[in-house]
Structure 1
Amino acid sequence: MATATTHGARDHARAQAGTTVETMPRVPAPAGLTWSETVAGGNYTHRALARGTGLTLTDPAGDACAHLLLFATGRPWERLNVADTVKVLWNAYPGTGHLLLSDQGRVLASITASAAPADTMCGTSTLLRNTARYGDGSPQGHAPAGRELFKLAAAKHGLEPRDLGPSISFFQGVRVDPGTGRLEFTGSAGPGASVTLRAEMPLTVLVANTAHPIDPREDYVCTALEVEAAPGAPTAPGDPLWTATPEGERAFLNTADDLAARGIQ
């Protein structure tokens, strides 16, 4: 179909209606979901989610690496604080039942189910590092850096590069060697691994699906990531997660206090 004219370009564009590809958002989302998308390796996605939403990330092929940044929607100054998450929960390897805290001591999200390693130590890749290692770290290049993709996702929510703190990642594991203190890359949990987060306040989620920064493989390796979100209820005082630890209970109380003051149920 000729596209040299305006009419030809229009007809060509309209002929694409209904076309699907392997990695794309599904709009509208399937019944029961509010978000459904397959994110290609080396790509990103983002969404503002309602309080109580369950967000499930799945690694179908075994080589996805989901780097996450979380923000209280409309409040760029309140965001995921990885250091506080590790410090307050006494755990550098978050899993089922752990909380992801903001820098205000409140619960942004809880991990309700996880069969995937979480890395709180390495953050995501940078333009400089990927350019030195792979020859290109630009967003449109063959080895996009996670921070560069985060910048694009952030801009769509009025966020700036200065708003981007350290991220948490899922699916590619890292451990600290107890003898040397060095970081060891432990790799994937395998095809089909998943993690589910619950939004404990209105949440803006940025996701960069990029190769882990200390993945020792010579090539840039990152496969597709499945993202699904469904409506749900936030953690309530009667939930065992609320009182699982004194530190966690305090964080939930801080969250409830803030939401009540803003009229959010």
Structure 2
Amino acid sequence: MPTSPQPIFTELLPGAAHWSMKIPKGFVLTAKDLEGGANLSLLFYNPENLLERYNAPDTLKCQHTFKLTTGHCLYSDMGRVFCTIVKDETNWIDTVCGVANKEKVAKKWGERSYQADRNQWKQNGYDSLLVEVAKYGLGKRDLAANLNLFSKVSSDTEGNLIFADNHSQPGDEIALRFEMDTLVVLTTCPHPLNPATEYPFRPVELTLTEATEMTLPVPPHGQDENQRGLENNRRYHCTHSHPAHSHPDHAHPEAQA
């Protein structure tokens, strides 16, 4: 998966943090699990129309899959492709389990407050995402089902969900190439099914580069559907100008609200 050799920027996002930025079409966001066992929850929105956002059911249905990995596209609820997974060293990305809320985190790991514990407080994914989307005028009703990078959840014959402990190893990378301008909102709070006895603070390194090619990786399934999704992108861009080589504006990571 060739990308520009020189990153535009690299950020270290600590555990229990949240972050957001607008990424233009033609750029690649690479996430690296630095210590193993990380979880990176993401949501996507169209910055020109925030009503258009990531649609997990359509993403899975049109590609005939329960898991996501290299070659899969991530769809909006308008049938367009936000981005393509061009690299996944974990070979399995969860997009069905969502994020934990304050009550679930307190029950599992106990409760801490930012006022008393600062960056060692036990933040939850739901509130983390809510803080970030609020910066763009969005609220609770705008939190759709999210993606969980570095986490694997399978199901048994009875339909029970099974969390794979230590699925992601130190140094594992996942790269997303953006097929349209996208507002990315994310958090490093732990996966809701993580069975760890201690609250897991797992950092993730984020690197942004410019893609050197825009060919579609061969997906495990759904090649025809993905071509139709990218055709929807092409038609959309025909009426929406996109400045060439525009570099994204970005905000610094925030480890607390």
TM-score (norm 1): 0.81
**Structure 2 partner of 1:85:** 59
Displacement of 1:113 in angstroms is: 0.7
Q: Secondary structure at the match of 1:250?
A: helix
Go from structure 1 to structure 2 and tell me whether the alpha carbon gap of 1:229 and 1:107 turns closer, same or farther (over 3 Å shift).
same
Q: Does 1:254 align with 2:228?
A: no
C-alpha separation between the residues in 2 aligned to 1:46 and 1:161?
Answer: 16
Alignment pair present for 1:172 and 2:172: no
Partner of 2:193: 214
Percent identity among equivalent residues?
27
Which secondary structure does the structure 1 equivalent of 2:164 belong to? strand
Aligned to 1:133: 108
Could you say what secondary structure the match of 1:119 adopts? coil
| 1:196-254 per-position Cα deviation (integer Å, ceiling 9, x unaligned) | 00011001111100111011122211311000111226735xx5659971111111111
Question: Following the alignment from structure 1 to structure 2, what is the Cα–Cα distance between the partners of residues 138 and 227?
Answer: 27
Superposed, which structure 2 residues align to 1:137-152 within 5 Å?
142-152=121-131
Give the RMSD, CA atoms, in angstroms: 2.2
Paired positions, count: 232
Match of 1:112 in 2: 86
CA distance in 2, matches of 1:257, 1:241: 22
The farther-off stretch of 139-148 and 69-78 is: 139-148
Q: Name the structure, 1 or 2, with higher relative contact order (CA <8 Å, separation 6+).
A: 2
Distance 2:143 2:189 in 1: 16
Residue in 1 that maps onto 2:46:
72
From 92, 98, 123, the counterpart of 2:72: 98
Structure 2 residue ranges without an equivalent (≥5) = 244-257
Per the alignment, do residues 99 and 148 of structure 1 end up closer, same or farther by CA in structure 2, a change over 3 Å counting?
Answer: same
Q: Post-superposition shift, 1:97? A: 0.4
C-alpha separation between the residues in 2 aligned to 1:52 and 1:164?
Answer: 25
Counterpart residue identity of residue 89, structure 2: A
Structure 1 stretches of 5 or more lacking a match?
Answer: 1-30
What TM-score does the superposition give when structure 2 sets the normalisation length? 0.83
Q: State how far apart, in whole Å, the 2-side matches of 1:189 and 1:169 are.
A: 12
User: How many Å separate the matches in 1 of 2:71 and 2:36?
Assistant: 23
Q: Provide the C-alpha distance between the structure 1 equivalents of 2:58 and 2:178, rounded to a whole number of angstroms.
A: 18
Task: Give 1:98 shift.
Answer: 0.3
Mark the structure with the bigger radius of gyration. 1
Q: Give, in whole Å, the separation in 1 of the partners of 2:113 and 2:130.
A: 11
Deviation at 1:190, TM superposition (A): 1.0
Counterparts in 2 of 1:220-235, with a 5 A limit?
220-232=199-211, 235=214
